């Protein structure tokens, strides 16, 4: 049977047409434009490239981006598991509404999210004023960036963990109980390890999204070089100053980082599928 139709199996029509269209569209819209970035970067000398990247301002922006994204993703991981758990396991009034609203950060334009969060967490905002009484400034500080990044990354962990919990075989918990494990033990030894690949996938997705996020952060961050300037904003600034090569160099580093994240995410997804095959 394999020999009959070379490498492509099946006798349905349309493979050539759809595959051809897919490849051409993908190349024109995604692959060629992206490769232009690397092409442009390759015209730079190595010293110039390194010099741009190792610039103090660039390094601080990378630090700000990575640190705030990391902590936002951590927040999302912890509360994402909590929200997914509550949605998958408990019944309460308004559950359907909550389940729907979790996707708000996907549906709400980032700029709108950004200005709304700024108005709430600014010093005269609903929450900002209470924080100010404690002497904490949220908007226009790294804390504000963290708030915005937590907002946009929120659905990722929930939506990766929730289906795993919903398909979860309750018998495994029962088995643990018959073997004498306490509820606490069961959660940390049986349930959580099983959720871990999904949690990590969600974490990685949230982290990757946070690293590249621009719209919601630009309003709340204050954009002070060295302090609250994130990488995407710096690229933007360089562009506005027509420093195309500088922007390209930073973007290249970021893109490579994104690809690495993408590989990690694919690996984690593969791990989830591996466990599921055991059923």
Partner 1 sequence: MKHMTESAWIRWLLICLALFFLGLFLILPLVAVFMEAFKQGSEMFVAAILDEETFAAVKLTLLVALVSVPLNVTFGVAAAWAIAKFTFRGKNILLTLIDLPFAVSPVIAGLIFVLLFGSQGVAYPWLEAHDIKIIFAVPGIILATTFVTFPFVARELIPIMEAQGKDEEEAAVSLGASGWKTFFRVTLPNVKWGLLYGGILCNARAMGEFGAVSVVSGHIRGMTNTLPLHVEILYNEYQFAAAFSVATLLAALALVTLILKSIIEWKTQRKEELP
Partner 2 sequence: MSIEVVNITKSYKNFTALHNVSLQIPEGELVALLGPSGSGKTTLLRLIAGLEQPEEGAILFHGEDNTNRDVRERQGGVVFQHYALFRHMTIFDNIAFGLAVRNRKTRPTKQEIKERVHSLLRLVQLDGLAHRYPSQLSGGQRQRVALARALAVEPKFLLLDEPFGALDTKVRQELRRWLRHLHEKLGLTILFVTHDQEEAMELADQVVVMNEGRVEQVGSPEEIYNHPANPFVYSFLGRVNLFRGRVRDGKVRLGEAEFDTEWENLRGGEWPAVGYMRPHDVEIALAAQDSKFVQAQIQHISLLGPIIRLDLKRLDTGELFEAELTRQRFCELDLQEKSTVFVKLNNLAFYVEDAEEKVPLPTFIPIQASF
The yes or no reply on residue 143 touching partner 1 (CB under 8 A) is no
Which residue, 138 or 196, is less far from partner 2 as judged by CB?
196
Give the nearer residue to partner 2 in terms of CB position, either 97 or 184: 184
Q: Are 80 and 154 in contact (CB under 8 A)?
A: yes
17 vs 170, beta carbon nearer partner 2: 170
Residue 171 binds what, of partner 1, partner 2, none (CB under 5 to 8 Å, by partner type)?
A: partner 2
Pick from partner 2, partner 1, none: which does 236 bind, CB < 5 to 8 A by kind?
A: partner 1
CA distance 138 to 147: 8
Task: Closer to partner 1 by CB, 12 or 54: give it.
Answer: 12
> Minimum distance between the CB of residue 196 and partner 1, rounded to whole angstroms?
19
Helices 142-167 and 110-121 pack at an angle, to 10 degrees, of: 120
Comparing CB distances to partner 2, the nearer of 112 and 179 is 179
Contact of residue 256 among partner 2, partner 1, none (CB under 5-8 Å per partner type)? none
**Helix, coil or strand: residue 66:** helix
Burial 208-247 (b: 16+ CB within 10 A, else e): bbbbbbebbbbbbbbbeeeebbbbbbbbbbbeeeeeebbb
The yes or no reply on residue 30 touching partner 1 (CB under 8 A) is: yes
Q: What is the DSSP letter of 182?
A: -
Residue owning tokens 């024109």: 28
Q: Would you tell me which residues interact with partner 2 (CB under 8 A)?
A: 169, 171-172, 174-182, 185, 189-190, 193-194, 196, 274-279
Assigned token pair, 137: 């400034």
Q: Does residue 267 bind partner 1 (CB under 8 A)?
A: no
Selected from 144, 197, 202, 232, the binder of partner 1 by CB under 8 A is 232
DSSP 230: -
């Amino acid at each position: 049977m394999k020999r009959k139709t070379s490498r492509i199996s099946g006798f349905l029509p349309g493979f050539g047409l759809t595959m051809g269209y897919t490849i051409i569209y993908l190349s024109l819209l995604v692959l060629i434009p992206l490769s232009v970035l690397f092409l442009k970067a390759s015209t730079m000398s190595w010293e110039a490239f390194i010099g741009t990247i190792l610039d103090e301002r660039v390094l601080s922006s990378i630090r700000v981006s990575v640190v705030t994204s990391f902590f936002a993703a951590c927040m999302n991981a912890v509360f994402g598991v909590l929200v997914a758990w509550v949605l998958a396991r408990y019944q309460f009034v308004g559950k359907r509404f909550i389940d729907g609203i979790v996707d708000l950060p996907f549906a709400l334009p980032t700029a709108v999210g950004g200005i709304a969060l700024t108005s709430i967490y600014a010093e005269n905002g609903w929450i900002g004023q209470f924080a100010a009484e404690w002497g904490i400034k949220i908007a226009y500080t790294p804390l504000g960036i963290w708030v915005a990044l937590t907002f946009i990354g929120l659905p990722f962990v929930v939506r990766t963990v929730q289906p795993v919990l919903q398909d979860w075989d309750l018998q495994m918990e029962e088995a643990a109980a018959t073997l004498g494990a306490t509820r606490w033990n069961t959660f940390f030894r049986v349930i959580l390890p099983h959720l871990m690949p999904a949690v990590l996938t969600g974490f990685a997705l949230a982290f990757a999204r946070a690293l590249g996020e621009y719209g919601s952060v630009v309003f709340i961050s204050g954009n002070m070089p060295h302090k609250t300037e994130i990488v995407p904003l710096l690229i933007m600034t360089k562009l506005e100053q027509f420093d195309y090569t500088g922007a390209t160099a930073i973007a290249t580093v970021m893109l490579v980082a994104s690809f690495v994240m993408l590989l990690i995410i694919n690996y984690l997804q593969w791990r989830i599928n591996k466990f599921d095959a055991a059923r």
